[in-house]
Structure 1
Amino acid sequence: MPRPTSLIVPSLILAATLAVPAAQAGKLYRWTDRNGVTHYGDRAPSDAVAAAAGAAEVKVIPYRSEPGSIARLRVQQDGDRYLAWADNSLAGPIEVRLDFNHSNNIIGSPLLPASATLDPRASAVVSVLSAQDPSRGGDFELSMRSVPGDPRARPQNADYLLPLRQQQFRIDQGYGGHFSHSEPEHRYAVDFAADIGTPVLAARDGTVMQVESDFDKAGLNLEKFGDRANFVRILHDDGTMALYAHLKADDGVMVRVGQRVRAGQQIGLSGNTGFSTGPHLHFAVQVNRGMRLESIPFRMTGPQGPLRLGGSVR
């Protein structure tokens, strides 16, 4: 699901559910000078500036900004208009969609809602905001959703390696598992039983796009644990993304964002973090289908040959 910046953001759904942290808030400041011209800024005017302009009351206009795990929304004053920027913090592409929560005499160019695809670590102006009627004031509140991946990606046939260094393995939940694999984001995910500390391996060549490694708790309280888990997201050359989730606390992530990895290379240690029934590795191949994250079927080979990935024993 997309990650809205003005709400709690679900984006990565795991063996149970993984979402991103809650949104951060930003502020704009509005004041009108003695000539009746309305000004906006990302900080309040100093007392000297306000006095020189003959400004009356300074009004604070809140807006929501997404945490740095995916993208950041920021608004920059440019003369009598305001640039709504999206900053991609990932080492892979993302798609964002900007919209008004509230708009009074403010219009966007392009009109909102507006979408944009950002390259790794890139920034882009999604929309330019200005007053419809320059003779009077206005205010607005923005929200932005973001999804990892490029919607133009075209998945190619590929063989994936077993993402665990162990000869004996068990699939606790496969494709369409009733416990937590019913939604599009994780319908084709696989949960491998794995003791805490089992080496996790890259199943395919790629670039580390995103990591989370600072969570150390687990449980079945969705409200408490549903938005957290340690994970590694790896971007493949065809635009698909592999998700390795519920990694060990503290030292469970062994790669850095932007690092190129090869199939079979160790990237972490399995664990039991986030909304989880017990120690395991959640693995999924995902694509962005246009502001919509979906998992897709994949072929995987283990020590004894091709794996059967469907079904659930939970």
Structure 2
Amino acid sequence: MHARWTMAALAAAALLATPAWSQAARVYRWTGEDGVVHYGDRVGDGAPAAAVTLVAVEIEPAPVARLRLEQRDGLVLAWAENLLDGPIGVVLRASAGAAPQAQPALPARATVPARGRVLVARIAGTAAASAELRLEAVPGHPGARPQDIEYAWPLQSRQLYVEQGWGGRFSHDDAENRHAVDLAVEVGTPVLAARDGTVMQAESGFTATGTEERYGGRANFVRILHDDGTMAVYAHLDAERVFVSSGERIRRGQRIALSGNTGFSSGPHLHFVVQVNRGMQLQSIPFRMFGPRGILRFDDPQQAAPAPADDPSPSARAGASE
């Protein structure tokens, strides 16, 4: 069982405005007693169960931010709108040709508070008319200062099997996932918050799974923002069993979802990682966790040598011990 979790930065091109991106949920179709065909994201009252069918709908991950361009006094004002319930970092770039005249000069960076908007740059009107602008956004405040916290076990199960740990060669070899762990567990196991925080993102509705890269952004997940600015991600959740909503305050030990096998994955598991925003890049950071039999200890991949290839034990393959 292997998995990859990626949070791609939003790339939005615009001349005067970018439309809102949307994520569709499952769509149901049924015929009422009056013979009228109905569609909806939930089945209406009185719909005969035998007449309800599920309509396949392609969905896309929800965006992190939106670029709004506003004309005023011969200038184009470039606003970044944060669509998350937590801070984000953004950078505005000219994607082709010479950068237009702007104040501040492009590329321009800004930090946008939860559900807020910030003026990123003022662009000369004549230059903006021919420029193609791109807004990139990354969750998290760039000034986050991680505290030394002991995280709780994130599963309502005493099973301990770390399938892939820090620096796993299959998919934990980039900055975003280097300190992630994949906890093998049966589909439908309750997932618990490992620390207090606020739900910053909650994605659900993705049902497909596979080991092709096209599944990389299709894992159901919950991102919880902690008070020190760090963020925990719980990924590859069940498509229909995410129990929390964006903006909700969460307590340590609270049930937030059921585990699944969605997105870039070859087997049922929970992908857990703690991240910060550093230089417009999500970076995973080391963490301490209390497991079913005591403190888990993960070898730092940048310091520890890899386990022997013929060692079959889960702890050796995962770089974890108790």
Q: TM-score range by the shorter chain?
A: 0.7 to 0.9
AA aligned opposite 2:156: R
AA aligned opposite 1:15: A
Q: Say if 1:243 and 1:72 are closer, same or farther in 2 by CA, change over 3 A.
A: same
Pick from 94, 97, 109: which aligns with 2:88? 94
Whether 2:75 is the aligned partner of 1:81: answer yes
SS at match of 1:215: coil
Pick from 196, 212, 215: which aligns with 1:225? 215
- 1:285 matched residue in structure 2: 274
Question: TM-score, normalization: structure 2?
Answer: 0.76
SS at match of 1:307: strand
Pick from 162, 165, 170: which aligns with 1:179? 170
Shift, 1:25, TM fit? 5.3
Pick from 145, 148, 161: which aligns with 1:170? 161
Question: TM-score, normalization: structure 1?
Answer: 0.78
Contact in 1 for aligned 2:154/2:253 (Cα 8 Å): yes
Unpaired segments ≥5 residues, structure 1 = 1-13, 29-41, 43-62
Where do 1:54-73 residues align within 5 Å?
A: 68-73=62-67
**CA deviation vs aligned residue, 1:62-88 (integer Å, no higher than 9, x gap):** x79877521011211113111111000
AA aligned opposite 1:178: R
**CA deviation vs aligned residue, 1:248-268 (integer Å, no higher than 9, x gap):** 1122x1100010111111000
Q: Say if 1:137 and 1:203 are closer, same or farther in 2 by CA, change over 3 A.
A: closer
AA aligned opposite 2:184: A
Where do 1:1-314 residues align within 5 Å?
A: 15-20=3-8, 26-28=14-16, 68-102=62-96, 106-131=100-125, 139-222=130-213, 224-251=214-241, 253-310=242-299, 313=317
After alignment, is 91-100 or 15-24 more displaced?
15-24
Shift, 1:308, TM fit? 2.8
Contact in 1 for aligned 2:10/2:64 (Cα 8 Å): no
Q: Within 2, Cα distance between the matches of 1:76 and 1:258?
A: 28
Contact in 2 for aligned 1:178/1:312 (Cα 8 Å): no
AA aligned opposite 1:240: T
Aligned residues: 263
Contact in 2 for aligned 1:189/1:284 (Cα 8 Å): yes
Q: Say if 1:202 and 1:176 are closer, same or farther in 2 by CA, change over 3 A.
A: same
Q: Within 2, Cα distance between the matches of 1:103 and 1:127?
A: 18
Unpaired segments ≥5 residues, structure 2 = 23-61, 300-314
